[in-house]
Amino acid sequence: MSAAVLRPAVAAIAVIAVMAVSLGAAPAGATPWGGRADQSEAPAGRRQPAPPWFVVRYDVVASGDVRSDLAVFSAVVDDTLRDPNGWATNGAVAFVADRRDPDLTIHLAAPAVVAAADPACSAQYSCRVGDDVYINAGRWVRGADSYRHRGRSAYRQYVINHEVGHWLGLGHQPCSAPGAPAPIMKQQSKGLGGCEPRMWPLPQERRRMLRTLAVQRPELATRP
Ligand SMILES: [Zn+2]
């Protein structure tokens, strides 16, 4: 094994070690990625933003015959990725817009573009292929039946978080129990399986994401 190969592996182990120490030392729920971000009533000043452990550079583009406003799409992507309830995980992951050298490109894509991106994709749904996330422009306008009570804005946040979740290394998850909040990695566009719609990752999904990121994309880590 060459030094060049070894170095990312060592970095990943170091990140995991730091995470493990933080997990052990912090009170329950107080870790940078803890499940308390939903509790916006937490006393002011109690939660300091964590310095980022990973930096993800992303770009937003329109692909194909798209009528929707790209500026609106871009604003929703920015807000969704940076929301403390999302994959930003209370600041542990920094999402930075970068047109020149993005790690991840998020497309507002015509259905035909999505279908052509990969044999596993279709014109009906959104899709992630490599470092490209294709948000289906048809769904962007229509939403999904499963979100008709939550509204289109919630659906848009869900689909961005779901597809970016794939890029972050996560696969699909089922509904755990009737009435439970749906995992973000459940295919909520296709149905909820008895769960309630939820457009943010569950705390356990965020913990899994941080572990996966450290192993699969050590180059994104900001700590040696
Ligand atoms: Zn999926």
Per-residue pLDDT tens digits for 193-204: 999 999 999 999
Share of the chain residues as helix, strand and coil, in percent rounded to the nearest 5: 40, 15, 45
pLDDT > 60? residue 82: yes
In this predicted structure, what is the pLDDT of residue 47? Answer: 53
The rounded Å distance from CA 2 to ligand 1 centre is: 35
- Residue 206 near residue 33 (C-beta atoms within 8 A): yes
Q: Is residue 54 helix, strand or coil?
A: strand
The rounded Å distance from CA 47 to ligand 1 centre is: 32
The rounded Å distance from CA 172 to ligand 1 centre is: 6
At 134, which amino acid appears?
Answer: Y
pLDDT > 70? residue 77: yes
Per-residue pLDDT tens digits for 122-178: 999 999 999 999 999 999 999 999 999 999 999 999 999 999 999 999 999 999 999
The position carrying tokens 């899994």 is 208
